[in-house]
């Protein structure tokens, strides 16, 4: 490999949200990576800092071109320049969209278990959550389409937040599935907000399908959130984009983002994104291979040493969804016990809704030595 992902980076005492833990604790929870940023991105950041004047920033053509080229080359999806809107982050974009496209007390549909911040973006804005629970069948998740259509047909359901690829279950939704979702949402006049922040973190040789590329219905009825932040570990730089092909819908989202003051970049947001999408191919491909090997190690370890813990089949993200129902159906208590006994800090599945009470989420975007350490701690806690 050209890049050293085995390198240990000491993130303690750096105001890191992830690593603000006790000295004996190993955090494998929140979704950021413990790898140094790609040197190409670091060079772009240093070049910007060398200007020594940090004034207001504009969005150059190079930013649009970087997104367009990346999605065309990597994901076979054509994005028109006018469809792209800068945003400071995917979560701000989600919250702004909820406020703009729904009214208080209306229902926003989500597919649980799902990224816990979706709940915040809905509840904090005075809207109600309606769940289309994913079906857990033979170790993987599927969509319950009968239930989905029933929920979409409710006149109070006006927005559907899709997670593509899905966090935490790691599922890549295929073209047929997305097109079926699009047809149902078009039929019932429900707008789709697709969070695709994990789209570049697929297993080697696995490929995600952008929701807007699945069908004409999907394209015309979609607000898609994309960013380099997860794949390139630059979440702290506050950089993302929203893709809205439909001009009427786009104007609403553009107004929402500007009204909420989340449509202007800081000085590093644009150059970092451009560097990621124009120079980051090699780094990202090696990263995906490294994470995949970590995932394979976890699967082998669990099969050998903890056969009652089942690793859910996944094709994307560096977040593993561990079925621990053989030990407990209270993942909050289980994760707390593991942390107290061994210092291993995992996410409790309860916060993701659905059947999350049976699961723990583990972040393996870290040096393999940390993965080995974490698994040994898990074994120690569960054997005890």
Q: Is the pLDDT of residue 384 over 90?
A: no
Provide mean pLDDT across the span 244-259.
98
Based on the fold, state whether residues 213 and 326 are members of the same structural domain: no
Based on the fold, state whether residues 251 and 313 are members of the same structural domain: no
**pLDDT tens for residues 171-229?**
999 999 999 999 999 999 999 999 999 999 999 999 999 999 999 999 999 999 999 99
**pLDDT tens for residues 328-345?**
999 999 999 999 999 999
- Classify residue 50: in a domain, yes or no: yes
Based on the fold, state whether residues 50 and 30 are members of the same structural domain: no
pLDDT band, very low/low/confident/very high, at 5 (cuts 50, 70, 90):
very high
CATH code assigned at 264: 3.40.640.10
| Domain-ending residue, one of 260, 279, 298 | 279
Based on the fold, state whether residues 259 and 287 are members of the same structural domain: no
- Classify residue 15: in a domain, yes or no: no
In the chain, pLDDT over 70 holds for what percent of residues? 100
Based on the fold, state whether residues 315 and 237 are members of the same structural domain: no
Tell me the residue range of the domain where 194 lies: 43-279
Q: Is the pLDDT of residue 256 over 80?
A: yes
How confident is the model at residue 3, as a pLDDT? 97
Average pLDDT across the chain, whole number: 98
How confident is the model at residue 1, as a pLDDT? 74
Question: Around 127, how many Cα atoms within 13 Å sit in the side-chain half-sphere?
Answer: 29
**pLDDT tens for residues 269-313?**
999 999 999 999 999 999 999 999 999 999 999 999 999 999 999
Based on the fold, state whether residues 217 and 307 are members of the same structural domain: no
Based on the fold, state whether residues 264 and 285 are members of the same structural domain: no
| Domain-ending residue, one of 245, 279, 313 | 279
How confident is the model at residue 302, as a pLDDT? 98
Q: CA of 131: how far to CAs of 123, 150, 153, 329, 368, in Å?
A: 13, 11, 13, 20, 36
């Amino acid at each position: 490999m050209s890049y050293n992902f085995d390198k240990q980076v000491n993130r303690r005492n750096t105001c890191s949200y992830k690593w603000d833990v006790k000295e004996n604790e190993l955090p494998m929870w929140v979704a950021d990576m413990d790898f140094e940023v790609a040197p190409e991105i670091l060079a772009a950041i240093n070049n910007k800092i060398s200007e020594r004047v940090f004034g207001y920033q504009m969005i150059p053509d190079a930013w649009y071109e970087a997104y367009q080229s990346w999605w065309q080359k990597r994901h076979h999806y054509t994005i028109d320049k006018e469809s792209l809107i800068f945003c400071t982050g995917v979560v701000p974009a989600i919250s702004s969209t909820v406020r703009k496209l729904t009214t208080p007390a209306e229902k926003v549909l989500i597919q649980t278990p799902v990224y816990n911040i979706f709940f915040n973006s809905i509840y904090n804005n005075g809207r109600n959550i309606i769940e289309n629970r994913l079906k857990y069948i033979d170790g993987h998740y599927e969509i319950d389409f009968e239930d989905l259509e029933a929920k979409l047909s409710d006149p109070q359901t006006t927005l559907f937040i899709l997670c593509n690829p899905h966090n935490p279950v790691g599922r890549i939704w295929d073209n047929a599935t997305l097109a079926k979702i699009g047809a149902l949402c078009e039929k019932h006049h429900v707008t789709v907000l697709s969070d695709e922040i994990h789209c570049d973190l697929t297993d080697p040789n696995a490929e995600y399908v952008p929701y807007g590329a699945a069908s004409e219905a999907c394209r015309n009825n979609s607000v898609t959130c994309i960013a380099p932040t997860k794949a390139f570990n630059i979440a702290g730089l506050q950089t993302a984009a929203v893709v809205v092909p439909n001009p009427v819908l786009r104007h609403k989202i553009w107004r929402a983002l500007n009204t909420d003051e989340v449509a202007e970049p800081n000085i590093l947001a644009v150059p970092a994104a451009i560097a990621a999408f124009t120079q980051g191919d090699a780094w990202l491909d090696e990263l995906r291979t490294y994470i995949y090997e970590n995932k394979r190690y976890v699967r082998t370890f669990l099969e050998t040493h903890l056969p009652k813990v089942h690793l859910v089949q996944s094709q994307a993200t560096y977040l593993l969804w561990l079925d621990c129902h053989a030990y407990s159906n209270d993942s909050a208590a289980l994760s707390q016990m593991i942390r107290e006994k061994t210092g291993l800090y995992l996410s409790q599945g309860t916060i993701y809704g659905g059947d999350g009470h049976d699961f723990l989420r583990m972040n393996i975007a870290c040096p393999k030595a940390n993965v080995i350490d974490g698994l040994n701690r898990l074994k120690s806690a569960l054997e005890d």
